[in-house]
């Protein structure tokens, strides 16, 4: 699944990711909302904890009688043997890359907070609002006139970190294939999309804030979920082609085994797409994008070049898992719950902050666009705190797709080899706590262990 990554990557840097992402919190006013929020928080916590513990539960050994006729395989030892096939220097490099990402989560949060506080305390935000009010008397246009310069300022101020994180650092670890100019051109395209999407979203949200200053967090959740749905729907058709070329996979030796798995699972696709990801990166990956009529399964050219057929079948079976298990709709639902809780908490925090600093910053209330940096500051903080839970929600669906993938492709060794290749950019053997906090996919070790457990079980084929 790449919808979330898309939203993050294209809108991070303009600070808007905070509005499109998902958080949790606590409301203080009505007792109904309080109960709703408590319930949802509890559900999220329980869900996250069950998921975290489930992933670390060792598999019970099969009763002795069942293993009599088959060659015994010790899944734990087999997992270690796979991990040991990588050179120490490779492991150290990918660990350093991935662990650096932990710090980047912190730096990005601190930068968002610093920019927000700067715009509030300097009263630049209030002046932008005054400027937009002089330009037009229509509320929706005032919001747009505030949003455009706001997004531009935030993008420019966060550009240095963006440049380091997404250009220099990627080159430093040998993951990027683009020179500066093509990279920068794509940044600008992404920024224009973010400006258009961000302005539309803000105009809609501020219309809600003006009409429902007390219950905006409920209607606002609805707006955000519908917005995320539409972005997911149009992305494969209108957005992805701006960055990459998608063409049907024509090699029958690769295509036909993939389509056979699709038929076996009643997935109504007639073709599989190949995307030229090597334009930007050396990473091996595949994705399912879109919803309803725009769903498309694609594998990237790095995968085609670097992997054997068993590995490709395993990856594509994983992507089919996302489709069959209806992960698009499920993730949208989970994120909707996060947004609802986050907005409820934001409502209380925003009103408290305006009560205290409203005069100093020149903010009149939730419906005043000058309060946008405060909204971003609060939501950004909540998202930062919710990182482990957001990652866990995504990682759990990825683990489900892995289970579907191994059962459909029946390629345990292929799965182990792919897990090692993904280890180029994802730490292979983290601690359980590290995996819980930072991993939005299972670690390589978890994936290889799943493959080896599957292999050791020797399931009958049932011909
Ligand atoms: Zn996946």
The DSSP secondary structure of 222-238, one letter per residue, reads HHHHHHHHHHHHHIIII
Query: What is the distance in A from the centroid of ligand 1 to the CA of 405?
Result: 10
DSSP bridge partners of 289: 296
The per-residue pLDDT for range 273-282, each reduced to its tens digit, is 999 999 999 9
pLDDT(395) > 50 = yes
Q: With cut-offs at 50, 70 and 90, classify the pLDDT of residue 47.
A: very low
Tell me how far apart the terminal alpha carbons of the chain are, to the nearest angstrom. Answer: 33
| Distance (Å) from CA 338 to ligand 1 centroid | 21
pLDDT surpasses 80 at 327: yes
| Ligand 1 mean position, distance from CA 118 (Å) | 38
- How far does residue 315's CA lie from ligand 1's centre (Å)? 9
Ligand 1 centroid to residue 324 C-alpha, Å: 12
DSSP 8-state assignment for residue 293: G
pLDDT at 140: 92
Q: Is the pLDDT of residue 22 over 60?
A: no
* Residue burial 277-299, b: 16+ Cβ < 10 Å; e: rest: beebbbbbbbbbbbbeeebbbbb
Q: How large is the angle between the packed helices 372-409 and 88-121, nearest 10 degrees?
A: 150
Percentages of the chain per state (helix, strand, coil), in multiples of 5: 75, 5, 25
4 CA → ligand 1 middle, Å: 11
Distance 171 CA to ligand 1 centre (A): 25
Q: How many angstroms separate the alpha carbon of residue 165 from the centre of ligand 1?
A: 23
Ligand 1 centroid–CA 47 distance in Å is 19
| Per-residue pLDDT band at 52 (split at 50, 70, 90) | very low
Instruction: Please state, rounded to an integer, the average pLDDT across all residues of the chain.
Output: 85
The rounded Å distance from CA 96 to ligand 1 centre is 23
Q: Per mean pLDDT, which range of 58-72, 185-199, 368-382, 419-433 is the poorest? A: 58-72
Mean pLDDT of 384-395: 96
Ligand 1 centroid to 322 CA: how many Å? 7
For residues 68 and 77, the model is more confident at 77
Ligand 1: centre distance to CA 221 (Å): 26
Q: How far is CA 444 from CA 284, 311, 420, in A?
A: 14, 14, 6
Q: What is the reported pLDDT for 296?
A: 84
Spacing, Cα 313 to ligand 1 middle (Å): 14
User: Taking the C-alpha atoms of 449, 455, 457 and 461 in order, what is their torsion angle to the nearest 10 degrees?
Assistant: 140
Lowest model confidence (mean pLDDT) among 53-62, 259-268, 415-424:
53-62
Q: What is the pLDDT of residue 401?
A: 96
Q: Is the dihedral of CA 380, 382, 383, 385 positive or negative?
A: positive
User: What is the CA(455)–ligand 1 centre distance, in A?
Assistant: 21
Instruction: Tell me the pLDDT band of 24, cut-offs 50, 70 and 90.
Output: very low
What ranges make up the beta strands (E) of 165-301?
246-248, 273-275, 286-289, 296-300
Ligand 1 centroid, distance to 294 Cα (angstroms)? 18
pTM of the model: 0.83
Question: 20 CA to middle of ligand 1, Å?
Answer: 20
Per-residue pLDDT at 27 exceeds 50: no
State how far the Cα of 284 lies from the Cα of 63, in Å rounded to an integer.
Answer: 38
| Predicted pLDDT of residue 63 | 53
What percent of the chain shows pLDDT beyond 70? 84
Q: CA–CA distance from 27 to each of 48, 180, 344, 352 (Å)?
A: 21, 46, 5, 12
pLDDT of 229 above 90: yes
- For residue 418, the CA-to-ligand 1 centroid distance in Å is 13
- Ligand 1 centroid to residue 151 C-alpha, Å: 31
Cα-to-centroid distance, 420 and ligand 1 (Å): 16
Q: Find the 442 Cα to ligand 1 centroid distance in Å.
A: 10
What was the pLDDT predicted at 274?
A: 93
For 65, which DSSP code? G
CA 326–ligand 1 middle distance (angstroms): 12
What is the rounded average pLDDT of the residues 422-441?
Answer: 92
Give distance in angstroms: CA of 306 to centre of ligand 1. Answer: 19
The tokens for 78 are 């087999």
Q: Tell whether the model's pLDDT for residue 3 goes beyond 60.
A: no
The set of residues, in sequence order, having a beta carbon less than 8 Å from that of 45 and lying 6+ positions away, is: 389
Centre of ligand 1 to C-alpha 288, Å, is 8
- Interstrand relation of 273-275 and 296-300 (parallel, antiparallel or unpaired): parallel
Least confident of 66-75, 104-113, 254-263: 66-75
User: Looking at the predicted structure, is the pLDDT value of residue 234 above 50?
Assistant: yes
pLDDT tops 70 at residue 2: no
pLDDT 10s digits, 157-202? 999 999 999 999 999 998 999 999 999 999 999 999 999 999 999 9
pLDDT higher than 50, residue 20: no
What is the CA(398)–ligand 1 centre distance, in A?
5
Query: How many CB atoms sit inside 10 A of residue 314's CB?
Result: 28
Q: What is the pLDDT of residue 59?
A: 56
Q: Is the pLDDT of residue 9 over 80?
A: no
Tokens coding 80: 């270690």
pLDDT class of 424 with cuts at 50, 70, 90: confident
- What confidence tier does 61 reach under pLDDT thresholds 50, 70, 90? low
Q: Which of 37-41, 206-210, 422-426 has the lowest mean pLDDT?
A: 37-41
Give the least confident one: 20-24, 205-209, 352-356.
20-24
User: Does pLDDT of 378 surpass 60?
Assistant: yes
Task: Answer whether residue 310 shows pLDDT above 70.
Answer: yes
What is the distance between the alpha carbons of residues 419 and 430, in angstroms, rounded to a whole number? 14
Tokens, residue 211:
């009409």
Look-up of token digits 């983290």: 430
pLDDT tens by residue, 124-153: 999 999 999 999 999 999 999 999 999 999
Distance 297 CA to ligand 1 centre (A): 11
Question: What does the pLDDT read at residue 425?
Answer: 87
CA of 342 to the centre of ligand 1 (A): 26
* Ligand 1 mean position, distance from CA 285 (Å): 9
């Amino acid at each position: 699944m790449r919808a979330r990554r898309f939203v993050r990557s294209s809108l991070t840097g303009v600070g808007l990711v905070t509005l499109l992402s998902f958080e949790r919190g606590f409301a203080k006013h009505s007792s109904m909302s309080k109960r709703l929020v408590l319930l949802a928080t509890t559900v999220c916590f329980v869900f996250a904890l069950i998921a975290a513990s489930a992933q670390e539960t060792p598999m019970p050994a099969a009763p002795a009688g069942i293993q009599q006729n088959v060659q015994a395989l010790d899944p734990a030892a087999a997992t270690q043997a796979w991990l040991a096939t990588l050179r120490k220097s490779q492991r150290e490099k990918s660990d350093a890359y991935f662990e650096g990402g932990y710090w980047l989560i912190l730096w990005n949060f601190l930068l968002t907070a610093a920019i927000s506080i700067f715009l509030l305390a300097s009263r630049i935000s209030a002046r932008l609002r005054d400027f937009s009010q002089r330009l037009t008397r229509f509320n929706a246009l005032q919001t747009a006139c505030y949003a455009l310069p706001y997004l531009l300022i935030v993008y420019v101020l966060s550009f240095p970190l963006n440049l380091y994180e997404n250009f220099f650092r990627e080159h430093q670890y040998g993951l990027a294939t683009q020179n500066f100019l093509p990279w920068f051109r794509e940044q600008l395209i992404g920024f224009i999309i973010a400006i258009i999407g961000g302005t539309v979203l803000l105009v809609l949200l501020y219309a809600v804030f003006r009409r429902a200053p007390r219950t905006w967090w409920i209607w606002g959740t609805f707006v955000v979920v519908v917005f995320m749905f539409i972005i997911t729907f149009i992305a494969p058709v209108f957005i992805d082609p701006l960055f990459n070329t998608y063409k049907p996979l024509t090699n029958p030796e690769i295509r036909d085994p993939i389509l056979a798995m699709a038929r076996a699972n009643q997935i109504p696709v007639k073709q599989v797409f190949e995307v030229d990801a090597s334009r930007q990166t050396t990473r091996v990956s595949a994705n399912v994008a879109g919803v309803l009529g725009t769903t498309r399964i694609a594998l990237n050219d790095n995968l085609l070049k670097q992997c054997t057929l068993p590995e490709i079948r395993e990856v594509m079976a994983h992507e089919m898992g996302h489709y069959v298990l209806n992960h698009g709709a499920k993730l949208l639902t989970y994120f909707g719950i996060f947004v609802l809780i986050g907005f409820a908490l934001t409502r209380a925090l925003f009103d408290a902050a305006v009560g205290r600093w409203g005069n100093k910053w020149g903010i009149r209330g939730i419906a005043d666009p000058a309060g946008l940096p405060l909204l971003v500051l609060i939501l950004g903080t909540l998202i930062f705190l919710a990182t482990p839970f957001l990652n866990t929600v995504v990682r759990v669906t990825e683990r489900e797709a892995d289970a579907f993938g191994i059962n459909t492709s029946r390629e345990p060794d292929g799965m182990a080899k792919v897990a090692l290749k993904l280890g180029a950019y994802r730490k292979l053997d983290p601690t359980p706590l590290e995996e819980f906090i930072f991993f939005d996919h299972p670690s390589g070790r978890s994936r290889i262990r799943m493959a080896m457990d599957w292999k050791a079980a020797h399931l009958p084929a049932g011909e």
